[in-house]
Amino acid sequence: MTKVVLNVEGMSCMHCVNAVKRAVGSLKGVAETTVDLAGKKVIVEFDPALVSINSVKEAIVDQGYSVV
């Protein structure tokens, strides 16, 4: 299991937090998704054999946010 902390811009409320958690959490291989709204961070624990960090980033971008 790998843990990565992503800096994500654009999340402004609990709806955004839920949208990101839902999108990332639905990827096969993602074990846990934590969003720090104030800190603008998304912490993802995933199995790199099942999902790439690029797929995780894409899922966040698809929701309308920027991974910086």
d(CA 6, CA 42): 5
Applying CB under 8 A, the span of 1-9, 10-18, 40-48, 50-58 interacting with a copy of itself comes to 10-18
- The answer to whether the beta carbons of residues 43 and 49 sit under 8 Å apart is no
3-state secondary structure of 27: coil
- Which is closer to a copy of itself, CB of 16 or CB of 27? 16
Pick from 1, 5, 9, 15: which binds a copy of itself (CB under 8 A)? Answer: 15
DSSP state of 65: -
Residues making contact with a copy of itself (CB under 8 A): 12-16, 19, 64
